[in-house]
């Protein structure tokens, strides 16, 4: 039985390809069962996110299983194979284990260290378990992957620093105000950048959202998404008086927030601190605003600089995480090999003992009057001979595989003695 991964991700396929191969949540169980019905597959689970579509599986014949899965993807998504085949990767054995451990640890993510992927893998595994498409191999693999992800999270600082402009803005806001639950957020502009920053802030507990935009209807729509309040553009000063955090991202060619305006606002606020996040290009907030007492101003370059520094920190931590992954791959490989060693030893002992018994019975049939004592002696003698012959090879095969020879020994024993594999079929020499 061989473990493998077939898939594509943000590194190998453009979004136009990825979105056409994505599995809708409502169809995942049906897809799992269809794959499980393929004769070449023994176990499987599907991980489908916006950045990757991967099938984790175990099969006796990997090449046959690979072709079957390609055909399945083609049929299920109504695509010709040539439309996506070049984007696929196919990883087998330890390479597959390493890949899955890296995915679970967020080392293969678009943003290294992001936490969402682990939850997505756990959901995919839960569905495979409930659908009974996963078995011993995937159970052990996924639980080990969760363990690896936990080690990476606790033994490194890979997830500790913000690496996007929006997440940096949230991090800085928390440094200034602490708990964001009671803070008022004022969005100047209702475009994608403002919305994304707002979502990050809301995810961290912020709940009071004000929105202004030149097109008032758009401000109303965005405010409704956050259960907030829309303010007319010409009444922006009202929002500035109430806000603790101001996020501005418009396409205005001129400054919308000026030094003299904020000086007046700060007097009316009785010097209550205000934090400006200007992520517009060109800038919305006049640079001199940041010189006013109790006013904190960061523009997009400031935020990007912090993000870039944090990315460098994550890259250093990622090296530690990669070492953890390699350590865990070796542990899993040792366990996986033990699955092969144990049945090989049992099969070899069974075959040799069967031969011994049959030959002994033939000999005893030629001497029907042999006393019982002598019969027992012959039984013990032949058993001892078989055990002594098998002792050295079995001891050798049980030893730690420092030279990488265990697989070679197992394969040789199965071939030379025609031992059955885990599917019950005998190993045969290739022509």
Please give the Cα distance from 196 to 202 (Å, whole number): 10
Closest by Cα among 237, 246, 253 to 298: 246
Catalytic residue among 50, 194, 352, 427: 50
Closest by Cα among 232, 187, 189, 231 to 209: 187
Note whether 216 and 230 are within 8 A (CB): yes
The residues with which 92 forms a beta bridge, in sequence order, are: 4
Residue 61 burial (10 A CB sphere; 0-12, 13-18, 19+) = middle
β strands within 136-273, DSSP E: 184-188, 208-213, 229-232, 245-248
The residues with which 299 forms a beta bridge, in sequence order, are: 278
Please give the Cα distance from 222 to 247 (Å, whole number): 14
Please give the Cα distance from 204 to 153 (Å, whole number): 20
User: DSSP assignment of 300-345, as one string?
Assistant: HHHHHHHHHHHHHHHHHHHHHHHHHHHHHHHHHHHHHHHHHHHHHH
Strands 274-278 and 245-248: what pairing?
parallel
* Contacts of residue 267, Cβ cutoff 8 Å, sequence gap at least 6: none
Note whether 211 and 187 are within 8 A (CB): yes
Measure the N-to-C terminal CA separation of the chain; round to a whole number of Å: 22
Report the run of H or E that residue 380 belongs to, with start and end: helix 372-398
**50 in catalytic set:** yes
The two tokens of residue 162 are: 């913000």
Note whether 400 and 414 are within 8 A (CB): no
Please give the Cα distance from 233 to 354 (Å, whole number): 91
Q: List the alpha helices (DSSP H) in 399-428.
A: 406-416
- Report the sign of the C-alpha dihedral through residues 414, 416, 419, 423, in that order: positive
Say which residue the tokens 């000026």 belong to: 258
Write out the catalytic residue numbers: 50
């Amino acid at each position: 039985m061989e473990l493998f991964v077939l898939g594509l991700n943000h590194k190998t396929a453009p979004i136009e390809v990825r979105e056409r191969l994505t599995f809708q949540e409502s169809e995942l169980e049906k897809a799992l069962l269809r794959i499980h019905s393929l004769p070449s597959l023994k176990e499987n689970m599907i991980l489908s996110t916006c950045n990757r579509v991967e099938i984790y599986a175990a099969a006796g014949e990997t090449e046959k299983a690979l072709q079957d899965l390609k055909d399945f993807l083609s049929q299920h998504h109504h695509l010709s194979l040539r439309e996506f085949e070049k984007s696929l990767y196919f990883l087998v054995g330890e390479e597959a284990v390493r890949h899955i451990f890296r995915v679970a640890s967020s080392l293969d993510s678009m943003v290294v260290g992001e936490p969402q992927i682990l939850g997505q893998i756990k959901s995919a595994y839960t569905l495979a378990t409930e659908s009974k498409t996963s078995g011993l191999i995937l159970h052990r693999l996924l639980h080990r992957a969760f363990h690896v992800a936990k080690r990476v999270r606790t033994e490194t600082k890979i997830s500790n620093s913000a690496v996007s402009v929006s997440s940096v803005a949230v991090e800085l806001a928390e440094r200034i105000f602490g708990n964001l639950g009671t803070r008022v957020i004022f969005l100047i502009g209702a475009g994608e950048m403002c919305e994304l920053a707002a979502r990050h802030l809301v995810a961290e507990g912020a709940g009071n959202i004000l929105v202004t935009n030149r097109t008032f209807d758009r401000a109303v729509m965005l405010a409704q998404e956050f259960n907030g309040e829309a303010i007319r553009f010409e009444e922006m000063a009202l929002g500035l008086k109430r806000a603790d955090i101001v996020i501005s991202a418009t396409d205005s060619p001129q400054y919308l927030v000026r030094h003299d305006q904020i000086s007046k606002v700060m007097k009316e606020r009785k010097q209550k601190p205000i934090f400006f996040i200007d992520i517009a290009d060109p800038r919305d907030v006049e640079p001199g605003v940041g010189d006013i007492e109790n006013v904190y101003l960061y523009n997009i370059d400031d935020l990007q600089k912090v993000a870039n520094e944090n990315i460098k920190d994550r890259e250093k931590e990622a090296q530690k995480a990669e070492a953890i992954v390699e350590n865990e791959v070796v542990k899993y490989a040792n366990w996986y090999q033990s699955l092969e060693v144990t049945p090989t030893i049992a099969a070899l002992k069974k075959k040799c003992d069967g031969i011994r018994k049959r030959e002994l019975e033939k000999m005893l049939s030629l001497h029907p009057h042999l006393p019982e004592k002598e019969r027992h002696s012959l039984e013990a003698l032949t058993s001892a001979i078989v055990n002594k012959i098998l002792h050295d090879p079995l001891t050798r095969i049980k030893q730690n595989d420092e030279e990488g020879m265990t697989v070679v020994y197992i394969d040789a024993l199965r071939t030379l003695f025609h031992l059955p594999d885990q599917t019950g079929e005998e190993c045969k020499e290739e022509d």
